[in-house]
Structure 1
């Protein structure tokens, strides 16, 4: 019954909060005291607790009498006769207060009704003690029903999704918090399932946002119809819905729920004249009890959802996913700082002419020695850079540093060396950056000819946006730069692209090269790539050559160049120049 009680304090006989007295005569008339009570604009009454006697109401004003449910108060009346005081627990609170030495007390209370309840701020103030009058206090009630109802209405709006009418993400998290805080909670007894429409953006693009909203509403209704008693559904994002499932059989129940939902959503949705089939991805996380916040549980399910969008079906959260995500985020933050602080370096791996054994150039590879973590592999930080967009500034830096290093080699040798340098381009760089302008500026700044620079890009960079890729490659060719297709054979490039695009070199992926000596299929693939390159007038480079046998086999097959640990590991700039000088002596 009590809430937000003010700190108690003791009082003496001369209490400032007492009912005003006309004189210090304890025999002041009841009518005079009644006048003071009636003058108050709020419900008020004087309560008295005698020695061993019940709680009495000596006097009360009309608003209080109305609350008590009486027609009038004719003389003192026992508080227990009021249903209001009994249902709200206010009578017991007043009696308890009068048994203490507190001077005042304030708290919130209601009339105890389940429907249409009235809410009050209750203030108790001890009155001066007089012989024969017992222990008394003035009780005043400030009606705050309208304020409470407004707050509840605002809170209901705050917890509701305006489009679907479902609870929103905040309400969903509160529901999960209740489960986690329940003393009877058992690990594995609940799960959070996140359902996402994988192609919703295409619906918006094709039929408009109004139809998209209609689809969301229909989708939500279909989801709701698949719930069991005790399940909780909310819209947790744009086209994402969260379900809190109660599990009787642990993981088995969660799988059955996901299949039931998938079946419910498999039928096409009809929007006006259109019939739309919706593909869904689902991620699930069991509540283990170790989670501190509901948001953490939802985030775990979203980790699994991310995998489901790639692999399809339903995926369940694994704890290492969160650790990996936190590490990726930490690496992203530190990588941004490393790029801005010029803390990365380039290593150069030799490109060797397989017929002559001469070093014709080097591939520039980014390296990162982190002060706290030590060396971080490109296999780890390059995907983070691509995912975060940092690949654009990283690529600009690598291009500038590679051309600058090539120019420094010329200066040290006192002549223009017969060397080229290769720099990798990502699909994101081609899509977002003005690559040709960057290349032109770097070449001009360091006095390097375009024919000494090779730009390597993967097949995915072409497949994602063939038109833009063609334009960028042609601009690079206008600068006399060479273009190499990296990891050839692992992507989806069509022969039409190879014929149409200005590509100079095909780089055979090391997965085919490494298996050549023991796998007839790999040899056949390598031979086919070499024949294709020869027919199209392209050079070839085999990656991952780590033995003399591989080098000899590729030479016999007609491969132009090779790189790998058999020749040399990636070297620092000065060591790379020394390596070339030694091989050229």
Structure 2
């Protein structure tokens, strides 16, 4: 290379050089003056009639740049380079008119000594009797490229642990995805450090950072050669593992991680046991890296519930996405008043007359069809929409009962039961909601029965007591729904102002075939009588059940034997049909 550089002519007013065919060429002073005035390395290239290329002039910066080069691609005076190398191809295509951009980036050398250049071509006026010419400029981008690489490396590194970060991990997944189906399978593990927030809050940020660093070091001990570890979140780590035996290898990796975490961590003067939840997701060909990572994160949530590493199941994720979809649609339905209240009759088992109705929300979606309450009520509770739904149901039920009174011309001997969620008891002003419904409808408090589950009591007994007392102050009836299926406590029954126990359908439906169910129902009825409470049996499907419950002393019942939930007007007609 240096020999070629030595053949380059020195600057001067008149120069003699040779083209690629060995023909002499004289450079006039204008070319030299023009090039020397340029702040970048530049040369004038001419294509002769035989198609050969000639360096007709260059400035000192060009000479210095070429002299620093070590690769033949920058050996501007070698005919082979200009004919077949990348610079030669660029020049020929430029002169031929097939490459009008005239720009090329290339690397010179290998490893840490590599240098990076950008070559640009610009047209020059053609001189009389000579071939077409262009100005070739060379910019040394080595420092720029090195800075970009250093910045990128910093962007892909977690500053605390020194591990790759989330972005780098996504790139590693993408790179591994190109090998899927050829020689290797891969899986992504997401490791979530449990209780980290408590440790961080109680011991301080420095201790938390120390724990994260130590946790990362232990994770490294659990990995095999070729596995990739990254810190993907505050207390979350991602692991990309290669698989030879499918999911068995991924589960083995999770087992190794749990083993290295079994020993307590020593932070300051304390020994802390740190557990982790691990979610796994298998990689499929063409899968988006972010989707794969989210799948593993979803499996982490399942692992927290199960207490063991979990493999991502598409069916579970589909159900989760459906819940989010239902949440969106439910919010719109509430805003547009698209839900309806149906009313299931509560029958006095002694007289056979309708004692009241239980209000039940129903949702007939315009596209999905009927969506079951067992599906949208849990979504409403999880999202907080239950507060909106509960207020709507309370007001709607009271208004419906008031409209029946108006149609009958008198206050009917009926009450309507409205269910209250544990979320409402914990987060809403339930007494205020009931008071507002009574005021707007003109009903007295004894026309409303509020049905609460045992879970609403257990979560916060003190608050539940205040809510129950406030409801009784409005003269409403309070019923405990699904009695016997939750965290039943005789202390709650004795302490709280509960008027009605509703016997769960699981006990009622089994009465005719299961002696234990009969015994439980008898016990609940005896307990209610001793405490001065009334009883309602749910799920009465046959005349035998209705007769048996009446004989045992149950006050009222509901179920398909009497009627399914009815729309408001149909419920009113049903009441009239059973009136004696």
> 1:303 aligns to what SS in structure 2?
helix
> 1:41 aligns to what SS in structure 2?
coil
Q: Distance in 2 between matches of 1:199 and 1:425?
A: 33
- The reply to whether residue 466 of structure 1 matches residue 464 of structure 2 is no
Q: Residue 14 of structure 1 corresponds to which residue in structure 2?
A: none
**Which residue, out of 440, 445, 469, partners 1:445?**
440
Q: Residue 405 of structure 1 corresponds to which residue in structure 2?
A: 400
Cα 1:216/1:500, change in 2 over 3 Å: farther
- The reply to whether residue 313 of structure 1 matches residue 308 of structure 2 is yes
Cα 1:353/1:279, change in 2 over 3 Å: farther
Q: Residue 388 of structure 1 corresponds to which residue in structure 2?
A: 383
Q: Distance in 1 between matches of 2:123 and 2:378?
A: 71
**Which residue, out of 557, 560, 564, partners 1:569?**
564
Cα 1:369/1:184, change in 2 over 3 Å: closer
Cα deviations by residue, 1:129-183 (Å, 9 ceiling, x for unpaired): 5688666532212344444444444433433334433333332222222223x26
Matches within 5 A, 1:213-252: 213-252=209-248
Q: Residue 286 of structure 1 corresponds to which residue in structure 2?
A: 282
Tell me the CA shift for residue 532 of structure 1: 3.3
Cα 1:249/1:330, change in 2 over 3 Å: same
Q: Distance in 1 between matches of 2:234 and 2:490?
A: 40
Cα deviations by residue, 1:526-557 (Å, 9 ceiling, x for unpaired): 33333333333332222111112222333333
- The reply to whether residue 203 of structure 1 matches residue 186 of structure 2 is no
Q: Residue 543 of structure 2 corresponds to which residue in structure 1?
A: 548
Q: Distance in 2 between matches of 1:33 and 1:188?
A: 60
Q: Distance in 2 between matches of 1:272 and 1:278?
A: 15
Q: Residue 369 of structure 2 corresponds to which residue in structure 1?
A: 374
Matches within 5 A, 1:100-111: 100-101=96-97, 102-111=99-108
The answer to whether the 8 A contact 1:504-1:538 is kept is yes
Q: Residue 346 of structure 1 corresponds to which residue in structure 2?
A: 341
TM-score, with length taken from structure 1: 0.85
Q: Residue 166 of structure 1 corresponds to which residue in structure 2?
A: 163
The answer to whether the 8 A contact 2:402-2:441 is kept is yes
Cα 1:459/1:565, change in 2 over 3 Å: same
The answer to whether the 8 A contact 2:94-2:100 is kept is no
Q: Distance in 1 between matches of 2:204 and 2:451?
A: 40
Tell me the CA shift for residue 263 of structure 1: 1.4
Q: Distance in 2 between matches of 1:332 and 1:213?
A: 38
- The reply to whether residue 45 of structure 1 matches residue 40 of structure 2 is no
Cα 1:145/1:203, change in 2 over 3 Å: same
**Which residue, out of 65, 68, 78, partners 1:67?**
65
Tell me the CA shift for residue 252 of structure 1: 1.0
The answer to whether the 8 A contact 1:233-1:241 is kept is yes
The answer to whether the 8 A contact 2:118-2:140 is kept is yes
Cα 1:173/1:342, change in 2 over 3 Å: same
Cα 1:561/1:242, change in 2 over 3 Å: farther
Tell me the CA shift for residue 495 of structure 1: 3.1
Q: Distance in 2 between matches of 1:535 and 1:213?
A: 60
Count of aligned pairs between the two proteins: 551
> 1:79 aligns to what SS in structure 2?
coil
TM-score, with length taken from structure 2: 0.86
Unaligned stretches of 5+ in structure 1? 1-20, 72-76
Tell me the CA shift for residue 49 of structure 1: 5.7
**Which residue, out of 343, 356, 370, partners 1:361?**
356
- The reply to whether residue 138 of structure 1 matches residue 135 of structure 2 is yes
- Worse-matched range after superposition: 100-109 or 469-478: 100-109
Cα 1:44/1:569, change in 2 over 3 Å: same
Q: Distance in 2 between matches of 1:321 and 1:188?
A: 27
- The reply to whether residue 295 of structure 1 matches residue 290 of structure 2 is yes
Q: Residue 178 of structure 1 corresponds to which residue in structure 2?
A: 175
RMSD: 3.1
The answer to whether the 8 A contact 1:346-1:367 is kept is yes
Q: Residue 13 of structure 1 corresponds to which residue in structure 2?
A: none
Q: Distance in 1 between matches of 2:182 and 2:465?
A: 59
Cα deviations by residue, 1:158-215 (Å, 9 ceiling, x for unpaired): 33334433333332222222223x2664598111222223433433454445444443
The answer to whether the 8 A contact 1:505-1:541 is kept is yes
- Worse-matched range after superposition: 329-338 or 54-63: 54-63
Cα deviations by residue, 1:1-49 (Å, 9 ceiling, x for unpaired): xxxxxxxxxxxxxxxxxxxx9xxxx986345422322221112223456
Cα 1:513/1:105, change in 2 over 3 Å: same
> 1:365 aligns to what SS in structure 2?
strand
The answer to whether the 8 A contact 1:443-1:449 is kept is yes
**Which residue, out of 261, 265, 268, partners 1:265?**
261
